[in-house]
Amino acid sequence: MAKIRLDKYLAEMGAGTRSEVKTMIRRGRVSVDGTTVKSPETKVDTSKECVELDGTAVAYEETVYYVLHKPAGVVSATRDAREKTVLDLLPEKRRQDLFPVGRLDKDTEGLLLITNDGALAHELLAPSKHVDKEYYARVRGRVTEKDVKIFAEGVDIGDDKPALPAKLNILSSAEESEITLVIREGRFHQVKRMFEAVGKEVVYLKRLAMGSLRLPEDLACGEARKLTQQEIDSLKRCAKKRKSRTLDAMLSGVRAVIFDLDGTLIPSMEIWEQIDVEFLGKYGYEVPEDLKKCIEGMSFRETAEYFAARFDLPLTVPEIEQTWLLMSREKYLEIPLKEGAGEFLKELKRRGIRAGIASSNSMELVESVLNSHGIRELFDTVQTCAAVEHGKPEPDVYLHTAEQLGIQPQNCLVFEDVPMGILAGKRAGMAVCAVEDTFSSRQEAEKRALADYYIRSYADLMTGSYEVL
């Protein structure tokens, strides 16, 4: 570690202002390794030499980290001539180089990180890093599933670009709703503007987390404490995961990329929930709570066979399939591609990397979706579970698709949105990137545990902000 001036050493450790510590040194109150030093310009090796002030050792910390439970009415600044700042709330005589990482509006409460680690602050705040920030809010107006979908697609808040896709979770929906929201940016008044865009008003806002750091439940409003070493290490790992990478790193050694369709390339899984309700309701059934889990990963034919076996329906398996096709065709053609998917597919084509589809859906629907978006020509093969013996989580459809592409499994990369599909890709011996999808949001932890990479959207790949798990 480089040597630093003695007055800077003491000022950074909170002994006083730079002018105050200079006076202390000149008055002989400071010693270095037992020898009184009266020159503020004296250089000190912070890793070896012992500095004492009035006989008490002043240990040097290069970086310090505080978590603050910010109250309303306090500004996120290092100094303010009229207002109380967040630094005024620190529990001990503070050093002079601290600053808040980002800002919370004056009327917003919650977690705020205060440090002097500029490198970490950059990793957490840079727009390209897409570090999660979680909020709790009370919102005037009834928040609905329609709002969840709008936020997931990226709401227009009046800037040059819409906000990035965000994860909205409804805790209660009434005249005043309660929600949690995870965003990946920090635009001016962003949460408030997002709700204004859908005709609602945030009346209370509290930040719960930034990256891996969560607001401690036992930290009272207005209080702060130093981070534990475990919290510091976890936060640094989180920032490192988000550190910008090149697409080349992910695609090194990859000769083919294989995509699931539903929930992976298009946000279509909710359509099938609607179809299940309409279809079963026609025959007097409510959708069983375990249905989603029971049919996850099944092929189109396997799902129809499951319905025929479980429910007393006046239809054959082919008739069930045909009914579903008629119910879903128009709805499917209205679904957009996920953010950045088209650009990523074109980039694969430019690089000469082969691309395939391995879907559990029907071939008719898959082909119609690809054609409607004008991307069919970007795929070298389109396969479904109908062509193999077993659906996902068995590896059959991925192995079959790799064979059709003429590429060995170990040189294939899979994109999937649900655990059963991720497991199928891993069982095929392929690397797998998990894709965030509103439908499978409650399975995120399981998806992360199984996959090799994680993306919020395909734009993460083009900006290099995907996660390596």
In contact, 67 and 217? CB cutoff 8 Å: no
Residue reference for tokens 């599909």? 421
Both tokens of 287, joined, read 């959708």
Indicate which residues carry an active-site annotation. 105
How far is CA 437 from its chain centroid?
A: 11
Spell out the residues 6+ positions from residue 285 whose beta carbon is closer than 8 angstroms to its own. 311
CA nearest 110: which of 72, 77, 82, 78?
72
Q: How far apart are CA 197 and CA 162, in angstroms?
A: 11
Q: How far apart are CA 116 and CA 225, in angstroms?
A: 15
The 10 Å Cβ neighbour count of residue 218 is 7
CA nearest 439: which of 466, 418, 455?
418
Both tokens of 13, joined, read 């450790």
User: 317-333 and 300-310 are packed helices; what angle lies between their axes, rounded to 10 degrees?
Assistant: 130
